[in-house]
Amino acid sequence: MMLSVKIEKKLHDFELHTSFTARNGITGIIGPSGCGKSLTLQCIAGLVTPDKGKIMIEEKVFYDSNSKTNIKTRHRNIGYVFQHYALFPHLNVEQNIAFGLKGMDKQDIKDKVSQMLEKVLLKGYEKRYPYELSGGQQQRVALARTLITEPDLLLLDEPFSALDYHVKDLLEQELLHIIKENFTGVVLLVTHNMEEAYRLCDDLLLLHEGQVVQFGQKNAVFRRPENVAAAKIIGCKNILKIDSLKEWDNGIECLVQNTRIWLNPQSLKGRLVTHIGIHDEDIRFVNEENEPNTFPFEVIHTVTGLKQSSVTIRVGSILLHTAVSNNDISRILAKKLNVYLPPEKLFFLVG
Amino acid sequence: MADLNLFPLFLSLRVAFTATLFAILIGLPIAYYLNRSNGRTSDMIDTIITLPVVLPPTVLGYYLLVLLGRQSSIGVLLEKHFHITIVFTPKGAVIAALVVSIPFLIKSARSAFSTIDPSVIQAARILGRSEWNIFFTIMIPLAWRGIASGITLAFARALGDFGATLMVAGSIPNQTMTMPIAIYDALLAGNRELANLLVIIMTTVSLIILYMINRLDKKTSLKSR
């Protein structure tokens, strides 16, 4: 299955301009709030009509502004899990799950519902009402209600944002398991949490102010963001402006506020790079000195976390954010170490 | 006691029940429409619908007379082609009661509809249900509490109307004289005893009906919490 989306939608002070092709597996749509993540899902589901563009899954056209096609939501055969699950409060678990099977044979419905209840670990909860269930159980009902209709496409809108922190990790894996076992098509998952997206997704689509800033396999996106907006969305803390740049045979030399930083040789393909970036956990502390990318530093600020601390250091006039495990922190602060920026971990960014 | 005429009581109940029934049939779709759209047209419709609450019933009755009277084009049309006369008939009383009571139902139902989480309705759409089906399986059950209180209010208002009914249907004994008018009539005629009796009957009947509606409401909304 292939979902291809190319839409434009204008709302008073906001413009959505998305274009992507998602394959089977989970594609995470990530971005800060107000970037158009949920709007994209709503357009795909037909809850909102775009101004222009085309949405199709395989050969089935949902929307096409050229041929004036706009299939009604109820005929799109889509699965959708809402942020707050949107269960029918006046119907019990069984009735909620059977809601999308209207018109089918009574006995078939009964069998399907009971099978589904087993899959989502809710046997025995048939007669409960949504308000009698925990958040995680409600989420599983919502998922069951939609999976039972055998949708062509599954859309998940911030499915974990309404859950308690301490149960989130567990439920995340549970949900992932249920989806992988019961659904093989395209899944779009909207979230603003990069960690969650990285754990759950295969591909990532980064959205910023209604525009796609990067789209690709999750590791590629995370290891090599292409532009400043993408780097910010994936949570890169060190984004440095380059003053000048020189390409040599053995690498690329960048001048950042009078500090010389080397990156591995790579083709810039005429990209107008303006910044370099490095993840905080990729910055290392070493004994060597006077090597390329090794600098003396001064600690500015330390925030001690549960297992990891973030240490802000100064190199020349550059501020760098680093992540240090709590076991190492005293070693780093006590000894005269140097900071090392591994050239292979540094990446160029377009402004 | 032997000459106590209960016709006004039965007429009042009949008029109020019929008017409430029509208020539900006409009012719920209007409330649904008003809840869905918030353009200028729906604001205007909303204002017009609220007007009967504010205007004196006599003014409403006057409008209805002008609109549906035997000289008006609608009145002539109804009388010529359908042999229906509205003015000074129980039909007129029903229309008067409907007009004064329908705003209460529409207002309550509309605000009840507006409290439904839109994503619940969207979920129903995604699961393949038509708008018509969603109205009956989702909207009505979820808004039931508000709708029921709207029905109660509308019924109470219809049962108690005096001014509009008097203007449109008049006070013809054994034809269009409803309970409130009969009480006024008795008082005017100096028949205090009859007036007292009618007032007591009216109060008792109203109490019983309202209590029954409340019970019904509680039972049904417990199911659909």
Contact B142 A90 (CB under 8 A): yes
| Range name among A41-45, A118-122, B15-19, B37-41 with the lowest pLDDT average | B37-41
Chain A residues in contact with B124 by the CB 8 A cut-off are 88, 99
Chain A residues in contact with B127 by the CB 8 A cut-off are 74, 99-100, 145-146, 149
- Euclidean distance between CA atoms B106 and B26, whole angstroms: 9
The number of residues making up chain A comes to: 351
Give the H/E segment covering residue A241. Answer: strand A238-241
A25-30 and A186-191 beta bridge pairing: parallel
- Euclidean distance between CA atoms B225 and B222, whole angstroms: 5
Conformation bin of residue B203: beta by default, left when phi > 0, alpha when psi is -120 to 50? alpha
- Euclidean distance between CA atoms A62 and A47, whole angstroms: 12
DSSP for residue A335: S
- Euclidean distance between CA atoms A35 and A47, whole angstroms: 18
Q: Where are the beta strands (DSSP E) in A135-202?
A: 153-157, 186-191
Instruction: Give the per-residue pLDDT at A344.
Output: 92
Task: For A54-96, give the secondary structure using H, E and C.
Answer: EEEECCEEEEECCCCEECCHHHCCEEEECCCCCCCCCCCHHHH
Chain B residues in contact with A83 by the CB 8 A cut-off are 119
Would an 8 Å CB–CB cutoff place A336 in contact with chain B? no
Substitution target from A73, A77, A156 for chain B, most B beta carbons within 10 A: A73
Looking at residues B154-168, what average pLDDT do you find? 91
CB A101 within 8 A of CB A109: yes
Categorize the per-residue pLDDT at A1 as very low, low, confident or very high, splitting at 50, 70 and 90: confident
Work out the minimum CA distance from A165 to partner chain B, whole angstroms.
24
CB A244 within 8 A of CB A260: no
Would an 8 Å CB–CB cutoff place A143 in contact with chain B? no
Substitution target from A39, A99, A132 for chain B, most B beta carbons within 10 A: A99
CB B67 within 8 A of CB B74: yes
Q: Is the pLDDT of residue A12 over 90?
A: no
Work out the minimum CA distance from A83 to partner chain B, whole angstroms.
9
Work out the minimum CA distance from B170 to partner chain A, whole angstroms.
46
Categorize the per-residue pLDDT at B220 as very low, low, confident or very high, splitting at 50, 70 and 90: low
| Residue A43, number of CB atoms within 10 A of its CB | 24
User: Using CB atoms within 10 A of its CB, is residue A202 exposed (0-12), middle (13-18) or buried (19+)?
Assistant: middle
Mean pLDDT, chain A, whole residue set: 91
Could you give the percent of chain A with pLDDT greater than 70?
100
pLDDT, tens only, A48-96: 999 999 999 998 999 999 999 999 999 999 999 999 999 999 999 999 9
Between these two residues, A141 and A336, which has the higher pLDDT value?
A141
Categorize the per-residue pLDDT at B83 as very low, low, confident or very high, splitting at 50, 70 and 90: confident
B125 → closest Cβ in A74, A87, A89: A74
The number of residues making up chain B comes to: 225
Instruction: Give the per-residue pLDDT at A9.
Output: 94
Categorize the per-residue pLDDT at A170 as very low, low, confident or very high, splitting at 50, 70 and 90: confident
Chain A residues in contact with B125 by the CB 8 A cut-off are 47, 73-74
Contact B129 A87 (CB under 8 A): no
What is the secondary structure of A270-301 as a DSSP string?
A: T--EEEEEE-GGG-EEES--SSTTEE--EEEE
Chain A residues in contact with B130 by the CB 8 A cut-off are 74
Contact A89 B128 (CB under 8 A): no
Q: Is the pLDDT of residue B221 over 90?
A: no
Closest to B165 measured CA to CA, from B153, B179, B152, B151: B179
What is the secondary structure of A115-143 as a DSSP string?
A: HHHHHTT-TT-TT--GGGS-HHHHHHHHH
Residue of A nearest to B141 (CA): A90
Would an 8 Å CB–CB cutoff place A19 in contact with chain B? no
Chain A residues in contact with B117 by the CB 8 A cut-off are 84, 86
Chain B residues in contact with A100 by the CB 8 A cut-off are 127-128
Distances (CA, A) of A207 to A199, A214, B123: 18, 7, 25
CB B109 within 8 A of CB B146: yes
Work out the minimum CA distance from B220 to partner chain A, whole angstroms.
11
Chain B residues in contact with A84 by the CB 8 A cut-off are 117, 119
Angle between helices B192-223 and B144-160 (to 10 degrees): 170
Residue of B nearest to A155 (CA): B126
Upper half-sphere CA count for residue B33 (Cβ side, 13 Å): 13
Categorize the per-residue pLDDT at A165 as very low, low, confident or very high, splitting at 50, 70 and 90: confident
Chain A residues in contact with B134 by the CB 8 A cut-off are none
Would an 8 Å CB–CB cutoff place A146 in contact with chain B? yes
Give the H/E segment covering residue B64. Answer: helix B57-68
CATH of region B7-224? 1.10.3720.10
DSSP for residue B138: I
Contact B125 A47 (CB under 8 A): yes
Instruction: Give the per-residue pLDDT at B223.
Output: 53
Substitution target from A74, A76, A82, A92 for chain B, most B beta carbons within 10 A: A74
Distances (CA, A) of A347 to A198, A280, A344: 19, 13, 8
- Euclidean distance between CA atoms A301 and A313, whole angstroms: 7
Conformation bin of residue A97: beta by default, left when phi > 0, alpha when psi is -120 to 50? alpha
- Euclidean distance between CA atoms B104 and A276, whole angstroms: 66
- Euclidean distance between CA atoms A163 and B183, whole angstroms: 62
pLDDT, tens only, A249-276: 888 999 999 899 999 988 887 788 999 9
DSSP for residue B89: S
Looking at residues B15-39, what average pLDDT do you find? 92
Domain limits of chain B? 7-224
State the Cα angle at B171 between B62 and B78, rounded to 5°.
Answer: 55
pLDDT, tens only, A239-249: 999 999 888 88
- Euclidean distance between CA atoms A348 and B69, whole angstroms: 83
Count of pairs with CB atoms under 8 A, one residue in A, one in B: 64
Contact B126 A84 (CB under 8 A): no
Contact B125 A149 (CB under 8 A): no
Categorize the per-residue pLDDT at A42 as very low, low, confident or very high, splitting at 50, 70 and 90: very high
Contact B128 A100 (CB under 8 A): yes
- Cβ-based neighbours of A345, under 8 Å, separated by 6 or more: A278, A279, A282
- Cβ-based neighbours of A177, under 8 Å, separated by 6 or more: none
SS3 (DSSP) at A3: strand
SS3 (DSSP) at A52: strand
pLDDT, tens only, B51-63: 998 999 999 999 9
Would an 8 Å CB–CB cutoff place A147 in contact with chain B? no
User: Using CB atoms within 10 A of its CB, is residue A82 exposed (0-12), middle (13-18) or buried (19+)?
Assistant: buried
Would an 8 Å CB–CB cutoff place A149 in contact with chain B? yes
Q: Is the dihedral of CA A269, A275, A280, A285 positive or negative?
A: positive
Collect all residues from B whose CB is shorter than 8 A from any CB in A. 117, 119-120, 122-130, 133, 138, 141-142, 223-225
Contact B129 A102 (CB under 8 A): yes
Instruction: Give the per-residue pLDDT at B2.
Output: 47
| Percent of chain B that is helix, strand, coil (3-state, to 5) | 80, 0, 20
Instruction: Give the per-residue pLDDT at A262.
Output: 93
